[in-house]
Copies of this chain bind each other. A is one copy, B any other.
Amino acid sequence: MARERKFTDEHLFQETKELIIHDGYEAFTFSKLASRLKVSRGSIYKYYENKDELISEFLMYEMARFLSDFGKLNKTADFPTQFNELIDFIFTQSNIYGVLEIIGQIPAPTTKRALNNKSKISEYYISMYQQFEGFIELGRKEGVIKEHLPTAILLGMIFQIIAIPNHFNIPEKEWIGSIKEILSSGMFKHD
């Protein structure tokens, strides 16, 4: 019907992600994004009215992808096995935390689309929380988790362990292994 697109949504989201993770929400500009996509700034306005709309669309995309990948994890294995897989998974998603941080920074939506996106993002966020919650419940049912630690704390620690940047450049295997050991001997019952 018309001419070819010079950039895909995926490409735009990828560049947006890098810009936001590197510089933060406030420093994100259409100019920087346009130059990375090698198009004029004006062409981006064909798809997004403003920064908030673009970023809320990006966040929706990222969270949907995260939830979809998370859903593919083995849900039938026993808790210790799933725990292992979950920590591994979280480390393949190490930038999801940067994405979650941005959610708090979205200002009051300026367009209907940004408003819809914002409520969709909240839904995804709740869904993400509930899936992690279900995971902790499994650990309790199997009698693996120390009873007196409240779910919200365990959840908080697992959920946010991804926020810990590996400043000291410790090899990934060792880093993940030690986190698994510290978390599991900290959270699980031992005999």
Contacts and interface: CB of A to CB of B under 8 A. Distances in A.
A164 interface: yes
Nearest to A181: B186
Number of copies: 2
Interface in A116-163: 149-150, 152-153, 155-157, 159-161, 163
Nearest to A164: B160
A49 B166 CA distance: 34
A178 B147 CA distance: 12
A167 B157 CA distance: 10
Interface of A is mostly: helix
B174 A150 contact: yes
A46 interface: no
Given A24-B24, A181-B186, A156 B166 contact: yes
Contacts of A163: 163-165
A183 B181 contact: no
A185 interface: yes
A153 B165 contact: no
A162 to B, nearest CB: 10
A150 to B, nearest CB: 7
A77 interface: no
Contacts of A159: 167
A47 interface: no
Contacts of A157: 164, 178-179, 182
A79 interface: no
A71 B184 CA distance: 32
Interface of A: 23-27, 149-150, 152-153, 155-157, 159-161, 163-168, 170, 174-175, 178-179, 181-187, 190
